[in-house]
Amino acid sequence: MDKRSITNALAAATCTLLGSTAPEPVLAQEEPGWSFNTSLLYYGEDDDRVQDLSLKTLSKRTFVDDRYLSLGLTVDALTGASPNGALPQSVAQTFTQPSGKNTFTTPPGEFPLDDTFRDTRVAITADWEQPLGRLWAMNIGASASKEFDYLHLGLNAKISRDFNNRNTTLSGGFAVAMDDVDPIGGTPTGLTQMLPVGDLSNRRGSESKDIFDVILGVTQVVSRNFLMQVNYSYSDSSGYLSDPYKILTVVDGVTGDAVPLLPLFPQDQGPSHLNYFEHRPDSRSKHSLYTQGKYYMNGKVLDASYRYMTDDWEIDSHTIDVRLRWPVGGDKYLEPHLRFYTQTAAEFYQLSLIDGDPLPEYASADYRLGDFDAITLGMKYGWKTGGGNDMNVRLELYRQSGNVSTSQLIGNQVGRDNYPDLNAIIFQFGYKFGK
């Protein structure tokens, strides 16, 4: 009889004498119950552009055996709009509103935007997570969101397996989304002219797009205080990928100024200059490589990530994101945040169309498809309340600046502001309570 069997025999004998059986091993797991993560966000852009007030909640129900249900709700109240793609001119410009029912006028030297824009967005998510046996885990989810002119429906699933004493986790997942775009006034036909008020002859009904995403990931524990993740993702979009509200100015090939339009009838209300609706390809494939590291140093935690993205619209981007969580006594911490982003322009991005030139197959002057750099600087402060709940506030500044090479500029465009640089402020208050 070896030592272990003697121990077992003694334990069994003791339990018998005490009138009980040997206890089952207990695995550590979270207690069942609800936890709530809530936040109030203000996002505001300068120059009367987009303002968003957003309320978010994420409710998580923990069940026995490491099973979780997460329910998310977001309500956004949006006002203001992004520049519509037209170039500023030395004279005032009038445009037909997207509804086709009215016009708006932009003063000289300003980026045109339709400031009558209002929208409410409601988004819901539901996720179920559970282990499958000892080493596998799965997650399935659904999402939906609705705006005045947009409907999103999506499903996703993910599966993971632990290896190497749970130091390595491999995961794979996919997501599908079916979105409908139903622009106010109808969807404009790409690369057709913006028409006078009441003329909707180049508008048609709603459009749709489908998005298919795949993600593969490795999470690795490197050491006691160092964790890393690497993800590869592929995304394929097809269908209507244009922005129905974005246009391009048609300019004179020598002066670079917008071509003026004379109304057919004096009573006609309509655009003062010639503009065309943008037109993007009906498919897009993106590849991304993302890596993140978390490093613990004497109570401080460094969180750094890098993402490379490339797509078949010839957009390449690099994103670096660094946060440092710095405890400042008790349960309080400060977290400075720095993010840097840079992207190249889509192959069909152009500032304007030239009057008289044959129309290209695709064209967009949407600044989000241009060549630009962006930087975010932020600070977060978090603390525990008397009841043991978590609160935090963060303030961030986001700045985008475009890179327009002078070779793209025609005549009077040189010396004008041709790219709508963006400055935004992000203020968020977060409160987490429950188990």
Partner 1 sequence: MQYGILIAGLFVFVALSGCSSMGVEPWERDILAKEEMQLTTDPIEAATDDHIYFSKEASSGGRGFGGGGCGCN
Q: Find the part of the chain contacting partner 1 (CB under 8 A) among 61-69, 118-126, 191-199, 254-262.
A: 118-126
72 vs 196 by CB, closer to partner 1: 72
Closest-CA residue to 113 (of 85, 138, 72): 85
Beta-carbon contacts of 135 under 8 Å, excluding residues fewer than 6 positions away, are: 161, 162, 163, 166
**The one among 301, 338, 404, 425 contacting partner 1 by CB under 8 A:** 301
Cα(186)–Cα(188) distance, rounded to whole angstroms? 6
252 vs 366 by CB, closer to partner 1: 366
DSSP bridge partners of 324: 302
Determine if 167 is a binding residue for partner 1 (CB under 8 A).
Answer: yes
206 vs 412 by CB, closer to partner 1: 206
Q: Per the structure block, which two tokens stand in for 223?
A: 């050491």
**The one among 13, 15, 30, 166 contacting partner 1 by CB under 8 A:** 166
Determine if 97 is a binding residue for partner 1 (CB under 8 A).
Answer: no
Q: Find the part of the chain contacting partner 1 (CB under 8 A) among 12-20, 141-149, 262-270, 350-358.
A: 141-149
- What does residue 82 show for φ and ψ, rounded to 5 degrees? -85, 155
Contact call for residues 179 and 211 (beta carbons, < 8 A): yes
Q: 């334990």: which residue's tokens?
A: 11
Cα(219)–Cα(227) distance, rounded to whole angstroms? 7
Determine if 341 is a binding residue for partner 1 (CB under 8 A).
Answer: yes
Determine if 353 is a binding residue for partner 1 (CB under 8 A).
Answer: no
101 vs 166 by CB, closer to partner 1: 166
Determine if 325 is a binding residue for partner 1 (CB under 8 A).
Answer: yes
Query: Which DSSP symbol is given to 412?
Result: G
**The one among 190, 195, 369, 413 contacting partner 1 by CB under 8 A:** 369
Q: 């993007």: which residue's tokens?
A: 280
Burial code (b: 16+ CB inside 10 Å, e: under 16) for 296-305 equals: eeeeebebeb
Q: How far is the CB of 205 from partner 1 (least distance, A)?
A: 16
Q: Per the structure block, which two tokens stand in for 205?
A: 């009904």
**The one among 69, 71, 73, 123 contacting partner 1 by CB under 8 A:** 123
Cα(427)–Cα(134) distance, rounded to whole angstroms? 42
DSSP SS3 for 128: strand
- What does residue 266 show for φ and ψ, rounded to 5 degrees? -60, -30
Chain Cα centroid distance, residue 34: 27
Residue 207-246 contact track with partner 1, rule CB under 8 A, x = bound: ----x-xxxxxxxxxxxxx-x-xxxxxxx-------x-x-
Cα(334)–Cα(378) distance, rounded to whole angstroms? 11
Determine if 54 is a binding residue for partner 1 (CB under 8 A).
Answer: yes
Determine if 181 is a binding residue for partner 1 (CB under 8 A).
Answer: yes
Query: Which DSSP symbol is given to 178?
Result: E
Q: How far is the CB of 296 from partner 1 (least distance, A)?
A: 5
218 vs 259 by CB, closer to partner 1: 218
Residue 12-51 contact track with partner 1, rule CB under 8 A, x = bound: -------------------------xxx-x-x------x-
How many CB atoms lie under 10 A from the CB of residue 124? 14
Determine if 56 is a binding residue for partner 1 (CB under 8 A).
Answer: yes
Q: What is the largest CA-CA distance in the chain?
A: 109
Q: How far is the CB of 107 from partner 1 (least distance, A)?
A: 21
Determine if 117 is a binding residue for partner 1 (CB under 8 A).
Answer: yes
Cite the DSSP H helix spans in 131-245: none
Determine if 296 is a binding residue for partner 1 (CB under 8 A).
Answer: yes
**The one among 193, 305, 408, 423 contacting partner 1 by CB under 8 A:** 305
113 vs 251 by CB, closer to partner 1: 113
Determine if 152 is a binding residue for partner 1 (CB under 8 A).
Answer: yes
Closest-CA residue to 327 (of 252, 254, 281, 382): 382
Determine if 303 is a binding residue for partner 1 (CB under 8 A).
Answer: yes
396 vs 417 by CB, closer to partner 1: 396
- What does residue 164 show for φ and ψ, rounded to 5 degrees? 50, 55
Rule CB under 8 A: which of 272-291 touch partner 1?
Answer: 286, 288-290
Determine if 430 is a binding residue for partner 1 (CB under 8 A).
Answer: yes
Q: How far is the CB of 202 from partner 1 (least distance, A)?
A: 19
